[in-house]
C-alpha cells in the first residue's frame, strides 16, 4: 500500500478548500491518489475539527428544496472548472452540489450528470414523501406511483434543466414506460379531444424512444389493474394509454413496446426469447457488457498497462492478451486469489486454502439462478473432489425482500458448511464482487434456461482471466468455446429447459461430469493449459463483452447518433 507524507496530505487537503475547492475526483485524477484514500483523509480532517467539504454544519445544508434545486439548474451545464468558480462565489464546496447532482466522469474526461429523483420534500404530503423511500417496498399502488415519478417526473426535470433537444430517450425495462405518455402530452400541447391522438404524434414519439427489455421473468414486467391506473394516472392519461392501442390492464412492457422505434434484448438468445414472448414486435439484440477498467483487479490492470498500453481506452486491444507471458497472468491471478481468500477467511472463518481449486457463485439469490444445483448430489461431489482434487466454494448475493425461495436458497447453501468447504460472504456489494470475480479459479453459472437474459458476472470474471463453467444460456451462448474460454454444463442450448426434478438431475450430472473429467484435471495436472484458457478468456471474451463495444452498438443501431453526426444533425 502506498505511503504518503504528512506534507503531501496537508497540501492535498488544502486544495479541497476555498479558493480552489477542488473535488475529490479532480484531485484523484491529478495526483494519482485513489478517491478512497482522499475521502479517508477528508474524514480524518473533519474528525480532527477541520471544516471540510461535506461537513454537517455547512450553512447550505439548511437551504430549502427550492434553493437547492435552483443550484442544480444553474450548474447543470458547468464543467469542472466553471463549477468550482460557481461554488467559490456562493461559498459552497463542490461536493455539496454533487450531493444533489452526481457526475460520472469517463476516461476521456467527458462528464455526464446523473440526477436522482426524491419526493421527500416538506411541501409534499406525508405519504408522497415516502414514494422514493424504498426500491422494493409497498404494494402495486406504491409501485405505480414510483413509475409515475420516474416517467413524468424524470421528463419534467430534464425540461426544467434545459435538456429540451434530446434525440433519444432510452427506457430500460417497462418501469420508465410512462415517459411515452409524457412525450405524447408534450407533443399535443394540451388535452386531446375525446381521447384521440393523431397517429403521426405517436410515430414522432416512437422515433425518439429506445426500449431495452432485460428479463423474460414475469415479475420483471409490471402490470397494473385498469382501476388502479385510473386512480393514479387520471382519466386523460388513461385515454393516452388506450390511444397507444393498449386496452385493459396497464402493461408497462407493452406500452414501452408500442412507444419505441427500436427494441432490443440484452443477448442474442434473449432477443430470440423476447420475440417469442412478443411476436408482434421486431426485437433486436445488443449483448450486455461490463466496464473493463472497473472490473479488472489491480494486479491485472498492472499487467495490461505493461503489455497493452491502450487497453483503458480501447478494449479491443485486450485481444492481444494472448501474447502476455503465462507467468505474469498466473502471478496476477495468484495475487487476486490471495486477496479473496484472506477476505473470505476474515469474514467467515471458513479456513480457505489459496492452493485449492476455488469456484465462485455470486449474483442475485433467486430460484431460477439455481445456486444450490451444485449440491444436488453431495455424495458424488465429495467423491469427485477426493478423486480429481479438492474444491472450495464461495457464494455471495442478496435475495429480494419478498422472494422467499431466494432466501431459502441462501439458507440451504449455509447448511452445506459442515459437509463441504463452503463460504457464504454477507453484505454483497461491488467491492466484494470485485474480489470474487477476480480471485476465484472458475466462475459457476447455473440458471434454468431460457430464464437468463444475459448475466454479467461471468463477463466481470473474464476481465481477470477467470473462465466460466456455465449452462448454455444468456451471454454464455455467445462467449462459450469449449475448453478455450471455459466449459459448458450440458451440450446444447435446448437441454433441460423445463423446471422439473429431471432438469435438475440432468444439469447436475453434466456439471459433475465436466468437473471430474475436464475442469479439475486441467487445473491440478495441466497448469500451462489452464493458463492458456485464462489468456483466451481475456482475449476473446474480455475484448468483446465490455461496455465500450456495447455502447458503440447502441450508438449505431439503437440511437442512430452516428448516422446523425454524419448527416450534420
Mean pLDDT, residues 469-490: 96
What is the chain's Cα-based Rg?
Answer: 26
Per-residue pLDDT at 56: 41
Per-residue pLDDT at 497: 47
Per-residue pLDDT at 569: 42
510 or 105, greater pLDDT: 510
Residue 557 C-alpha cell reads as: 443501431
Whether residue 489 has pLDDT greater than 80: yes
Per-residue pLDDT at 231: 94
Entry pTM: 0.82
Host H or E run for residue 200: helix 199-208
Mean pLDDT, residues 300-313: 97
pLDDT tens by residue, 197-234 = 888 999 999 999 999 999 887 777 889 999 999 999 99
4 or 438, greater pLDDT: 438
pLDDT tens by residue, 136-173 = 778 999 999 999 999 999 998 888 888 888 999 999 99
236 or 444, greater pLDDT: 444
pLDDT tens by residue, 545-568 = 999 999 999 999 999 976 554 444
| pLDDT bracket for residue 435 (50, 70, 90) | very high
Three-state DSSP at 176 gives helix
Please state, as a whole number, how many other Cβ atoms lie within 10 Å of the Cβ of residue 232. 19
Per-position DSSP letters for 276-323, written without gaps between them: HHSTTS--EE----B-HHHHS-HHHHHHHHHH-TTTTT-GGGGGGGGG
Largest CA distance in the chain: 76
> How far, in Å, CA of 300 to CA of 341, rounded?
17
Mean pLDDT, residues 353-367: 95
Mean pLDDT, residues 103-115: 82
Host H or E run for residue 519: none
Mean pLDDT, residues 266-273: 94
Mean pLDDT, residues 39-43: 77
Cis upstream peptide for 450 (omega within 30°): yes
Per-residue pLDDT at 98: 47
Whether residue 182 has pLDDT greater than 90: yes
> How far, in Å, CA of 144 to CA of 345, rounded?
43
Mean pLDDT, residues 447-458: 93
pLDDT tens by residue, 246-267 = 778 999 999 999 999 999 999 9
> How far, in Å, CA of 395 to CA of 406, rounded?
13
Per-residue pLDDT at 329: 98
Per-position DSSP letters for 19-52, written without gaps between them: TT---HHHHHHHH---HHHHHHHHHHHHHTT---
Please state, as a whole number, how many other Cβ atoms lie within 10 Å of the Cβ of residue 494. 10
β-bridge pairing 111-115 and 101-105: antiparallel
Please state, as a whole number, how many other Cβ atoms lie within 10 Å of the Cβ of residue 219. 10
| pLDDT bracket for residue 192 (50, 70, 90) | low
Mean pLDDT, residues 502-524: 94
| pLDDT bracket for residue 59 (50, 70, 90) | very low
Residue 458 C-alpha cell reads as: 461471468
Average pLDDT along the chain: 87
Residue 112 C-alpha cell reads as: 455526464
Mean pLDDT, residues 373-397: 96
Whether residue 57 has pLDDT greater than 80: no
- Greatest mean pLDDT among 76-80, 222-226, 322-326, 492-496 lies in 322-326
Amino acid at each position: 500500500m502506498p505511503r504518503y507524507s504528512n506534507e503531501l496530505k496537508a497540501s492535498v487537503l488544502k486544495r479541497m478548500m476555498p479558493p480552489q475547492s477542488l473535488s475529490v475526483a479532480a484531485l484523484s485524477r491529478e495526483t494519482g491518489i485513489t478517491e478512497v484514500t482522499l475521502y479517508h483523509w477528508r474524514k480524518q480532517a473533519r474528525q480532527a475539527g477541520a471544516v471540510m467539504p461535506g461537513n454537517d454544519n455547512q450553512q447550505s445544508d439548511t437551504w430549502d428544496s427550492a434553493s437547492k434545486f435552483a443550484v442544480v439548474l444553474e450548474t447543470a451545464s458547468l464543467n469542472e472548472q466553471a463549477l468550482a468558480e460557481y461554488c467559490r462565489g456562493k461559498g459552497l464546496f463542490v461536493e455539496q452540489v454533487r450531493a444533489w447532482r452526481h457526475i460520472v466522469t469517463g476516461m476521456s474526461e467527458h462528464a455526464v450528470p446523473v440526477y436522482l429523483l426524491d419526493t421527500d420534500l416538506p411541501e409534499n404530503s406525508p405519504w408522497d414523501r415516502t414514494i422514493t423511500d424504498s426500491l422494493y417496498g409497498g404494494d402495486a399502488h406504491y409501485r405505480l406511483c414510483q413509475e409515475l415519478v420516474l416517467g413524468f417526473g424524470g421528463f419534467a426535470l430534464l425540461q426544467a434543466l434545459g435538456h429540451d433537444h434530446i434525440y433519444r430517450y432510452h427506457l430500460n425495462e417497462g418501469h420508465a414506460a410512462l415517459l411515452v405518455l409524457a412525450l405524447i402530452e408534450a407533443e399535443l400541447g394540451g388535452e386531446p379531444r375525446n381521447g384521440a391522438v393523431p397517429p403521426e404524434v405517436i410515430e414522432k414519439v416512437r422515433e425518439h424512444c429506445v426500449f431495452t427489455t432485460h428479463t423474460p421473468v414475469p415479475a420483471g414486467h409490471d402490470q397494473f389493474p385498469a382501476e388502479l391506473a385510473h386512480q393514479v394516472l387520471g382519466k386523460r392519461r388513461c385515454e393516452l394509454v388506450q390511444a397507444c392501442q393498449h386496452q385493459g390492464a396497464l402493461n408497462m412492457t407493452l406500452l414501452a413496446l408500442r412507444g419505441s422505434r427500436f427494441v432490443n434484448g440484452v443477448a442474442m438468445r434473449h432477443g430470440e426469447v423476447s420475440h417469442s414472448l412478443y411476436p408482434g414486435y421486431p426485437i433486436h439484440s445488443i449483448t450486455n457488457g461490463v466496464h473493463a477498467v472497473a472490473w479488472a483487479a489491480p494486479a491485472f490492470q498492472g499487467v495490461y498497462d505493461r503489455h497493452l498500453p491502450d487497453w483503458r481506452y480501447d478494449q479491443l486491444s485486450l485481444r492481444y492478451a494472448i501474447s502476455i507471458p503465462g507467468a505474469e497472468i498466473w502471478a496476477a491471478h495468484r495475487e487476486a486469489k490471495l486477496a479473496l481468500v484472506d477476505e473470505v477467511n476474515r469474514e467467515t472463518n471458513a479456513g480457505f486454502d489459496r492452493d485449492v481449486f476455488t469456484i465462485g457463485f455470486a449474483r442475485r439469490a433467486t430460484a431460477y439462478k439455481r445456486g444450490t444445483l451444485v449440491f444436488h448430489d453431495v455424495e458424488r461431489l465429495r467423491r469427485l473432489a477426493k478423486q480429481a482434487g479438492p474444491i472450495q466454494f464461495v457464494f455471495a448475493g442478496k435475495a429480494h425482500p419478498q422472494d422467499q425461495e431466494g432466501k431459502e436458497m441462501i439458507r440451504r447453501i449455509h447448511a452445506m458448511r459442515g459437509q463441504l468447504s463452503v463460504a457464504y460472504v454477507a453484505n454483497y456489494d461491488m467491492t466484494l464482487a470485485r474480489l470474487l470475480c477476480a480471485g476465484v479459479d472458475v466462475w459457476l453459472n447455473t440458471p434454468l434456461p431460457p430464464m437468463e437474459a444475459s448475466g454479467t458476472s461471468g463477463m466481470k470474471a473474464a476481465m481477470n482471466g477467470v473462465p466460466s463453467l456455465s449452462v448454455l444460456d444468456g451471454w454464455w451462448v455467445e462467449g462459450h468455446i469449449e475448453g478455450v474460454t471455459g466449459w459448458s454444463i450440458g451440450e446444447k442450448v435446448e437441454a433441460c429447459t423445463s423446471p422439473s426434478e429431471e432438469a435438475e438431475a440432468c444439469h447436475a450430472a453434466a456439471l459433475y461430469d465436466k468437473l471430474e473429467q475436464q475442469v479439475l484435471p486441467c487445473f491440478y495436472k495441466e497448469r500451462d493449459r489452464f493458463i492458456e484458457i485464462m489468456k483466451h478468456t481475456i482475449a476473446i471474451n474480455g475484448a468483446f463483452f465490455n461496455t465500450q463495444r456495447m455502447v458503440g452498438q447502441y450508438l449505431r443501431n439503437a440511437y442512430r447518433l452516428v448516422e446523425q453526426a454524419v448527416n450534420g444533425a
